[in-house]
Structure formats: C-alpha cells, structure tokens
Amino acid sequence: MTTTPETSLATTTRLVRAVVDALEDASGRLGELDAVAGDGDHGLTMAEAARSIRAKLADDPPKDLVALLDMVADEFARAGGAMGAITYVLVRALGHAGVEIRGELSADDVSRLLGVAQDAVTEFGGAQPGDKTIVDAIAAARGAAAECVSGATAVEALCAASEGARRGAEATAGMIARVGRSSRLGEISRGTIDPGAESFAISLEALAAAYGRERPEE
C-alpha cells in the first residue's frame, strides 16, 4: 500500500476516532479510579475531550496531519485538569515526531515514538517509572515495542506495546503514588490502578486494534 499525505491523514483520523471512542466508553471506570486518590474528574475530562474532538472532525475536519494532531492536543488541553495538560504535551510531542516519518510506519518507529512520549511526559511532570503515573504504562509499552523491533511489523510492535502498556498500568495498583496530588495520600493510593496509566493503556489498545484493521496484510 502506497502512503500519501491524503491516506496518512485519513488513516490517522480513523485512529483518532478509535482512541477517543474508547476513552469515552471507559469514562465511568476512569472516574471511579480517579475518585480513590483524586477528585474523580479524570473520566469526565477524557469524555469531554472525546466529544469535542469528534465534533471538530465532523464540522471542521483538519486539512493535514499537523493540523489534526494540533487539534487533538488542543482539545485535551481545553478539557482541563492535570490529565488534559499531560495529554496535550504527549500528543504534541508525538505529532512533531510523527510527521517526520516518511512512508510506512515501522516497528522501529513505534518504539521511537513511545520513547518520545515518555521523555515528553517525564520532562513535563518529572515522573519516573515506579511513581504510579501514566509514565509506568508508557515505559512498559516502550520496552515491549523495543524488544520486538527486529523483523517485526508495525502492527506487531503496536500489539506488543499495547500489551506492555496494559501490564504497566496494572502494575501501578501495587505502587504508592510519588508524584502529583495522589502522592499526599501515601498508602491510600495503593491498591488501585493509576487512572492516567489506565487511560494510556486503553488508548494504545484501541490504537493497535484500529491500526491492525488498517493494515490487515501485516
């Protein structure tokens, strides 16, 4: 399949729709997770951003890939909250790195983009793996993608990364939060998956499944 700017935009638009649909579907669970050690608005933030993004895609669809990714980042920022800001930073970083890719996405690209995401979020908030944040899911996804780079397709790398993100998110249940508002709660923060890590895992699972549908030959 030959990739052109038009097919790249169309494909990425479908991937964005898949991710925001999955986040809105999970908004209730995300809110419940956030209520344990936060203010419970995480699910509402994700759902609001999802609805805004879908409305923008329907009413004023972006004309190129850069505009699409900028719009997605901006709508998460407008939704507010700590997760809105973090998602803005993450999407902007991925957008700048992603538009440099020429031709088909490779397994190595997947690993590199996850590295960009981890570095951007860490620089923004200071979180490291083990701090019970979204970084735990991103780092686990990055590691899983890196392990299968040799000879793997982009679909295989994304599937491995999504499985890694899921493991990383679930591992946060055994951690005590060290960064952000939840860090003030000590042991109370243990026993529940971090909502940011869960959001990332959900997003990457939806992205991997949607990309697999786009590239069935892989």
Task: CATH number of the domain at 56, please.
Answer: 1.25.40.340
**Residue 186, pLDDT score:** 67
What are the b/e assignments for 5-28, b being 16+ CB within 10 Å?
A: eeebbebbbebbbbbbebbbebbe
Condensed to tens digits (0 to 9), the pLDDT of residues 150-189 reads 789 999 999 999 999 999 999 999 999 888 766 666 677 7
Condensed to tens digits (0 to 9), the pLDDT of residues 64-91 reads 999 999 999 999 999 988 889 999 999 9
- Alpha-carbon distance of 140 to 169, in angstroms, equals 9
Domain of 84?
Answer: 5-213
218 falls within a domain? no
48 falls within a domain? yes
Q: Chain-wide mean pLDDT for the chain?
A: 90
Q: CB of 24 within 8 A of CB of 52?
A: no
pLDDT higher than threshold 80 for residue 215: no
Confidence of residue 1 (pLDDT cuts 50, 70, 90): very low
Percent of the chain with pLDDT over 70: 92
Q: How many domains does the chain have?
A: 1
25 falls within a domain? yes
Could you tell me the pTM of the whole model? 0.92
- Alpha-carbon distance of 14 to 65, in angstroms, equals 12
